[in-house]
Amino acid sequence: MSKPSIHVLEDLQQVAAAATDEFVARAKRAISHHGRFTVALSGGSTPKTMHSILAERSAKNPKLVDWSRVQILFGDERHVPPDHADSNYRMAKETLLSKVPIPAANIHRIHTENPDAAKAAGEYDRELVKVFQLKGDDQLPRFDLIFLGMGPDGHTASLFPGTTAVHELKKRVVANWVPKFNTWRVTFTRPVINQAECVLLMVCGKDKAQPFSEVIGQGSPDVYPVKYVQPTHGELIWLVDRAAAATLAPATK
C-alpha cells in the first residue's frame, strides 16, 4: 500500500470540487485505458455537493465525461426503499444521475426495498459478479474509484464500530445490523474496498476533528473502522476541510 495523501482544503465546497476533479480525471483515464469507469458512490452531505458540481459541469460541457462508459454502484445503503428520504440511491439520483446522460443499465443500486437485508446483500453480490465478470466467491472486483466518508464515530460505508461486518473478510457484500440505529444496512466489506484502484475519503466538519486525528494517528481500527481502509494495490486520498483537520498535527497537514 502506498502512503495515503492528505489534502486539507478550506471548506465543504472546496472538498466537493476537488472530489469532482478526481472523478472527472479518473473517469477519463479509466475509459482511455480499459474502456469504462467503475465507481462506487456514498451518501452524505459532501457527496451531495460533489454530485451537484459534477452535474453542473457536465451540463456546461457534455464531453466532460462519457457517461455511456460509466458504471455507477454504491458502497452501502440504508435498509429503506429507493424513494425513501434516507436512501443513498435517491440522493444520488436527485443530485446527479437524473441530470446526466447515463444509461439506466449502467446504474446498479442496492435493492434494499427487500424486507430481508441479507437477501438484498446477496443480490448485490451477484450484481458485482455480473458487472465485473467475477469467477468464484473469492475473486474481488477492482473499482477504478470508491468514494467514502467518515462518521464522527469513525465508521465508513456501513462498517460501524463494534458491528460484525467490520471483521468480515470472506464475503464481498453483507447485511450489517447497527444497534445504535436499530436497523440493518447493506455494505461493501473491507476486502472489496481495499481492492480498489483508488479510495477517496471526504471528511468535513468540526465533529470529525477528533476522530480524524485519531485515525491518522494512533487510534485503533476497531474503535475507528475507517482506519481499516488501506488499499492493497491502490491509492488512498483524504480530502478534508479545515474544521475536520483542526486537531491534526502540523507536520501531517
**Predicted local distance difference test score (pLDDT) of residue 3:** 87
Reading phi first (left if > 0) and then psi (alpha if -120 to 50, else beta), residue 157 is in: left
Strand partners, 134: none
Phi then psi for 212, rounded to 5 degrees? -65, -45
The pLDDT tens digits of the residues spanning 188-199 come to 999 999 999 999
Is the pLDDT confidence value at 251 over 60?
Answer: no
Is the pLDDT confidence value at 75 over 60?
Answer: yes
Is the pLDDT confidence value at 253 over 80?
Answer: no
> Averaged over 38-63, what is the pLDDT?
97
**Predicted local distance difference test score (pLDDT) of residue 248:** 86
Is the pLDDT confidence value at 1 over 90?
Answer: no
- Catalogue all structural domains in the chain, each as residue range(s) with its CATH number: 5-241 (3.40.50.1360)
Please state, in angstroms and rounded to a whole number, the distance separating the CA atoms of residues 148 and 4.
Answer: 14
User: Model pTM?
Assistant: 0.97
Amino acid at position 60, single letter:
K
462518521: which residue's cell? 151
Is the pLDDT confidence value at 152 over 60?
Answer: yes
